[in-house]
Amino acid sequence: MSFTANRAILPHETAERASTGTAIEGLPEWSLGDFYAGPNDPALAADLASLAEDSRRFEAEYKGTLAERLAAPEGGATLAAALKAYEALEDRAGRIGSYAGLLYATDTTDPVHAKTYGDVSDKLTSLATHLLFFGLELNRIDDAVMAKALGDPAAAHYRPFIEDLRKERPYQLSDDLERLFLDKSASSRTAWTRLFDDTIASLRVEMEGSEGKVTLEEALNKLLDPKEAVRKAASEGIAASLKSEERTFTLITNTLAKDKEVSDRWRGFPDVASSRHLANRVEAEVVDALVSAVTDAYPRLSHRYYAMKAKWFGKDALDTWDRNAPLPEADDRTISWADAKNTVMTSFGGFSPQLAELAGRFFDNPWIDAPVRPGKAPGAFAHPTVPSAHPYVLLNYQGRSRDVMTLAHELGHGVHQILAGPNGALMAPTPLTLAETASVFGEMLTFRQLLAEAPDARTRRVMLASKVEDMLNTVVRQIAFYTFERHVHTERREGELTTERLGQIWMDVSRESLGPSVRLQDGYEAFWAYIPHFINAPFYVYAYAFGDCLVNSLYGVYEREPAGFQEKYFALLSAGGTKHHSELLAPFGLDARDPAFWTTGLSVIEGLIDELAAADSAAG
């Protein structure tokens, strides 16, 4: 067990969702004043001190006595009281950790922010050692004793948490070993992850034709520039920049993969991704079915689409820097923040006034940080913080249509997090496989509205192509990323991987997934190095593909049977982490264990490609 504050803050998709553009006026910046006035606020130190004292008191109260006390006649009341107290400690720690993490994301190069983040992380890890016993002892309690204790109405509220916790029993170590793993995390995984973040933030890219060097985020944005010369310069500059730190990235990757292998071996996980599947509360067979369905569909999806795009560009194959390039006839206007807000809010409101009201809170309050700044965390994310507070959204908004879709995506996350909050700190967090539901659904609502309002066939074609590319990046690319990780972690069990081997694996899975109509130039073999998910949360990436296919199926249900859909949809989001995916999807007549579920989701992408092909035939 660990504090909820230790959850990683990850961008949605760094390069795949980036965009180009100039500075936009009127962009909001968040205020972290709901937590603390600043890193030197005396309240921060006071809260850490009181949390430490209360954590030690909790340990003294319950450690070594749970089994006996739960077996007593008043065991149910004891369990309820202990869980309520533990949950309160989790929430308090989450507030502190969320503040430090969000502050750091604001400017990862600020030494004060970095020190605050590091110091708070160390202290929370130290405090967590006083609470580590709780989950371990709960899992050692006899099933019959636990069942009887959960008969108490107050304790029964926490049944989903207990049931999830007990799924971890086969992989639980002794108290001393668990404490060692926790204590060492600050000087092992956490430290190496921070080194990666700091290295990425400090990278500067030299681009031919550009005045001075730019940040990696700015260079990634240039891969979507309408001018091929700019895209090529960005691609080559990024490759050179990543290669300049390739020894560091290789060392970080090897070290963290070995760290995970040690943990997996001691815990007895049978597969390199087993711990992620357990955390996601999803069966390995379900993930395997998803991966198989997507890889089998590569020729019908990515290979076919990129062949079409190459023809649109008048090339026999797309170059590395062309894959996400806008179409030649694409609208390159800059979308103001006000227009972006109006588009998203209108589409949300068209589905449900409740959805628009919840999303509107982020605009009415300083909960969004949108400008691009040096040192700011790349990409975009929605961080739930804790139920007693509210989520925050980070964007790097630069005024393109993809940025509007990213806004819809992250607001979907934020709405989901608000709705799940009443479940409390222990049960509000949603498994990653379901955490993408509201975000991708929000994107779909926004896209469908924009498509319906398209003024002409040309605009509709551009929008369809853009949506297809987003879906390919969310499904095909993420499964390729998952395949890359599986190769890396499997081979690491036999020894270290060289930079050259990492690049070879990256190129192999990229060629397989992208197909023969994408020509990967020299230098692309280094692009694996900047993907933060590989470092912060191994095997996280398949959740994007899971979520996209799930939403495609959900949206199909909504179009066929709109009556009563909203009620079931909000019930799904409000469940947080209290129900298994099979239970949540059953009201919609969906089952992720059925191979047809994934085929249905992928057919939506294929249908959009069919529509593009039909438009080409009609025009030609």
Give the relative orientation of helices 246-267 and 228-244 as an angle to the nearest 10 degrees. 70
pLDDT tens for each residue of 434-447: 888 999 999 999 99
How far is it, in rounded angstroms, from Cα 85 to Cα 467? 46
Burial environment of residue 618 by CB neighbours within 10 A (0 to 12, 13 to 18, 19 or more): exposed
Q: Which residues, other chains included, contact 218 with Cβ-Cβ below 8 Å and sequence gap of 6+?
A: 205, 372
How far is it, in rounded angstroms, from Cα 57 to Cα 273? 37
pLDDT higher than threshold 60 for residue 19 = no
Residue with tokens 């071996």: 265
Task: Identify the CA nearest to 439 among candidates 495, 398, 384.
Answer: 384
Q: What is the predicted pLDDT for the residue at 3?
A: 40
Size (the chain), residues? 620
Q: Which residues, other chains included, contact 418 with Cβ-Cβ below 8 Å and sequence gap of 6+?
A: 358, 361, 390, 391
- The beta strands (E) that lie in 115-250 are given as 204-205, 214-215
Burial environment of residue 563 by CB neighbours within 10 A (0 to 12, 13 to 18, 19 or more): exposed
Pairing of strands 368-369, 381-383: unpaired
Q: What is the predicted pLDDT for the residue at 23?
A: 66
Q: What is the predicted pLDDT for the residue at 402?
A: 83
Burial environment of residue 316 by CB neighbours within 10 A (0 to 12, 13 to 18, 19 or more): exposed
Q: What is the predicted pLDDT for the residue at 217?
A: 83
pLDDT tens for each residue of 111-138: 999 999 999 999 999 999 999 999 999 9
Q: Containing H/E element for 383?
A: strand 381-383
Domains and CATH numbers, the chain: 31-167 (1.20.140.70)
Reading the block at residue 558, the tokens are 């909504």
**Average pLDDT rounded to a whole number, residues 12-21:** 42
Cβ count near 202 (within 10 Å): 13
Question: What does the longest C-alpha to C-alpha distance in the chain come to?
Answer: 80
Q: Which residues, other chains included, contact 5 with Cβ-Cβ below 8 Å and sequence gap of 6+?
A: 93, 94, 95, 96, 97, 98, 100, 101, 124, 386
**Average pLDDT rounded to a whole number, residues 186-197:** 89
pLDDT tens for each residue of 335-374: 999 999 999 999 999 999 999 999 999 999 999 999 999 8
**Average pLDDT rounded to a whole number, residues 192-209:** 90
Residue 203 and residue 241 in contact, taking contact as beta carbons nearer than 8 Å: yes
User: Three-state DSSP class for 519?
Assistant: strand
Binning the chain into helix, strand and coil, the percentages to the nearest 5 are: 65, 5, 30
pLDDT tens for each residue of 462-477: 889 999 999 999 999 9
**Average pLDDT rounded to a whole number, residues 577-602:** 91
Four-CA torsion 524, 527, 529, 535, nearest 10 degrees: -140
pLDDT higher than threshold 90 for residue 375 = no
Q: What is the predicted pLDDT for the residue at 215?
A: 87
How far is it, in rounded angstroms, from Cα 152 to Cα 74? 9
For the chain, what is the mean pLDDT? 92
Sign of torsion, CA 108 113 117 118?
A: positive
pLDDT higher than threshold 50 for residue 10 = no
Confidence of residue 619 (pLDDT cuts 50, 70, 90): low
